[in-house]
Amino acid sequence: MRLIFRKLLLILFFFTSFQAARAQFQGVRWTSDGNAYLTVTPEAVLQTDVVSGKAIPLISRVQLTPTGASKPLTVAQLAFSRDSSQVLIFTNTARVWRYNTRGDYYLLDRNSNRLRQVGKVQPGQSLLYAKLSPDGTKVAYVSKNNLFVEDVATGQTTPLTTDGTRKRINGTFDWAYEEEFGCRDGFRWSPDSKQIAYWQVDASTIRDYLMLNTTDSVYSRVIPVEYPKVGESPSPVRIGVVTATGGPTRWLPIPGDPRQHYLVRMEWFPYSNELIIQQLTRKQNQSILFVAQPDNGSVTPIHRETSDTWIDTKESWNRGNPAGWEWLDGGKSYIWVSEKDGWRHLYRISRDGKKELLLTPGSYDIANLNYIDERNQYIYFMASPTNPTQRYLYRAKMDGKGKPERISPANEPGTHAYDIAPGGRYAQHTFNSHQTPMVTNWIRLSDNQVVRASPSSASSPQSPRNVEFFKVQTADGISLDGWMRKPENFDSTKKYPVVFYVYGEPATTTTSDVFSAGSNAQFDGDMAKAGYCYVALDNRGTPALKGAAWRKAIYRQIGRINVRDQAMGAKKLFEQHAYLDTSRVAVWGWSGGGATTLHLLFQYPDIYKTGIAVAAVGNQLFYDNIYQERYMGLPQENREDFVAGSPITYAKNLRGNLLYIHGTGDDNVHYSNAEVLINELIKHNKYFQVMPYPNRTHSISEGEGTSRHLRSLYTRYLLEHCPPGPH
């Protein structure tokens, strides 16, 4: 459906620019030399040595306490100027759609210990993405969809834009860009601190979806969200450059109709006043990179890529964060990720796009790019060539020669993750599997040797869990990965009910080899103790490391190919395991998994007897254009695929038990999906249960007692309609 210093007075800064937009993956706050990291406590900010674990105060409680306040600021994020004299602190945060990216900012002068609020002239809790300029003399931020710059020394504020409204958005993005491209922070300081490049989104032609708040007052209140539905042209987006002292914006003349293209990435070159910009066509099957020179207005294409299906953007291989550019040789070349040879690989491309080198040849996918070690000419990435449910760290030489070298220990099968320090000497390493709880250590990267174990790593091991990973081949010849958690005191001569957990769409997988495999947070209790077999399968079209053909097989086939794979996988399991009771089969999922649940219940009523669908897309034509058109095409050209892929088309086939759950304040999968599906079921005299959660969003987590109520509802329905225990 992404810093610290050796001694207190040394230069200190984030190795990545400070962006609240990176809420998707916070990561470790490393020192610039990579030998220590920062941690935030309620009382102070500490600097901890990686090897010794010795922590020293970096910023005290007194320094974090505003004048006249009784308690210190709650630090959500912080960033330092290059000379370490200024610290920018993000606090008092509030959610914008999914993430807490709005709030207040304070600037701490470490020489004078003066703490003052940035953007005090703006409404409280209204600032987004405040960033120090590279030279540390200014702070830029967004408030009420306008860009501002504040002088660090004087506090003087300069508006850079004045035309911002709810639907003319400067320096940040609309709902669709944020949700589907991961784009949140919409401006970039130039390397010389003299200019700012920013996105402007014109959502004036996008119709509002009107949510209705009926509980917070005696009169209902309309909440409009600019939301481009499938088939609607995208919001026009453009990129402009403005001087940090104010003045007119110079808009870049990027070719192509802005209502039929997306601008998904933009960064400055490291040592010049030039920009690199990635543009996607509306179908997202063609990518063009442009080099723009704001001084003379030239925009030159340097790289093109096309696909018969779609092209993934950086957020898909960078833990949800599309920001930044992987420069080499001071901007003379860069790293590019592509699936053009059938696998997701890393390429080294020259600045002009004329020279290209494949760095990771072979029949395997990279999952994430972790670190570039230019000094030693290595590139580090996550992959798992032989088991797509697992993840390991590899490194490859940057000349494209030789086989990749596995860094993760050979005796630890499962899922590894690494946060690598600047300089590449140390890393934070986490490991878990379906049998091993999460373990976190600080390691020496070169040989993955532990230099210091985290306290949690010393906890006693848990008893083995009755979770098995397997592969099953369907009648169509498709090999699916899966896991099954069997009941406690399992007896293969008896029959047990089976509950399938599904997602099934391109946004995520369900069969990762992690310790949570086999767990169900929605079940109030332990499914194994209750007496259920709990199963997950990953169908074609899920983002598994099984090649582009696997991932792209679902193009124009959502609701069909993925649903058939799930059903055929279930049938094969029933053939193989007589202990699975085919009279007690349930399925459940959330969001895309909710839609898959509906499809399985409607299209294969002979297999699935009970379904619990949460926040499901009932009609693909009701979802946003960026996601649905990426995977399904344009309804103006192939509307029949959208119809054939929508659960509402098959609602008349319902025979089993259905519990449908949806938040009426869901800005992602709108509540109208529930109501049109309900109408269709009523039309065909089908009986079912519905639970609307008033004003709750897609997560259905807001409000006192909500999560507990949802768990209780889910559990009672499952116990009643798919009774547990052996027969």
Domain boundary among 96, 129, 159: 159
Q: Is 606 helix (H, G, I), strand (E, B) or coil?
A: coil
- Which of 721 and 31 is assigned the larger pLDDT? 721
> CATH number, domain at 569?
3.40.50.1820
Per the domain annotation, does 252 fall within a domain?
Answer: no
Please indicate, yes or no, if residue 189 is contained in any of the structural domains.
Answer: no
Return d(Cα 270, Cα 394) in angstroms, integer. Answer: 27
Q: Rounded to the nearest 5 degrees, what angle is found at the Cα of 245, between the Cα atoms of 240 and 248? A: 40
End residue of a domain, out of 159, 175, 197: 159
Widest Cα–Cα separation across the chain: 79
In sequence order, the 6+-apart residues with CB closer than 8 A to the CB of 516 are none
Domain membership of residue 312 (yes or no) is no
pLDDT band at 32 (very low <50, low <70, confident <90, very high): confident
Residue-level pLDDT at 463: 54
pLDDT at residue number 152: 96
- For residue 352, being part of any structural domain is answered with no
Cβ-Cβ contacts under 8 Å for 663 (sequence gap 6 or more): 615, 671, 692, 693, 694, 695, 696, 697, 698, 699, 700
On the question of pLDDT at 19 being above 70, the answer is no
pLDDT digits (tens, 9 = 90+) for 182-215: 999 999 999 999 999 999 999 999 999 999 999 9
Examine the pLDDT at 72 and tell me if it is beyond 70. Answer: yes
pTM: 0.94
Which residue among 136, 159, 182 closes a domain? 159
Q: What pLDDT digit, counting tens, does each position of 474-516 carry?
A: 999 999 999 999 999 999 999 999 999 999 999 999 999 999 9
Mean pLDDT of 8-23: 27
Instruction: Look at residue 6 and tell me whether its pLDDT is greater than 60.
Output: no
Does residue 318 lie in a domain region? Answer: no
For the chain, the domain total comes to 2
The answer to whether 357 touches 347, Cβ cutoff 8 Å, is yes
Residue 47 belongs to some domain of the structure: yes
pLDDT confidence bin for 464, thresholds 50/70/90 = low
Q: What angle do CA 441, 446, 447 make, to 5 degrees?
A: 65
Q: What is the pLDDT of residue 203?
A: 96
- Could you report how far apart the first and last alpha carbons of the chain are, in Å? 38
CA angle, 401 as apex, 397 and 407 as ends, to 5°? 40
Is 282 within the bounds of a domain?
no
Average pLDDT, the chain: 93
CB count within 10 Å of CB 375 equals: 8
Q: Where do we find the tokens 């020259």?
A: 350
Residue 546 resides in a domain: yes
Alpha-carbon distance of 291 to 275, in angstroms, equals 6
Residue range(s) defining the domain that contains residue 680: 467-721
Once rounded to an integer, what is the mean pLDDT over residues 681-709?
97
Looking up residue 85, the CATH number of its domain turns out to be 2.130.10.10
DSSP class of 631: H
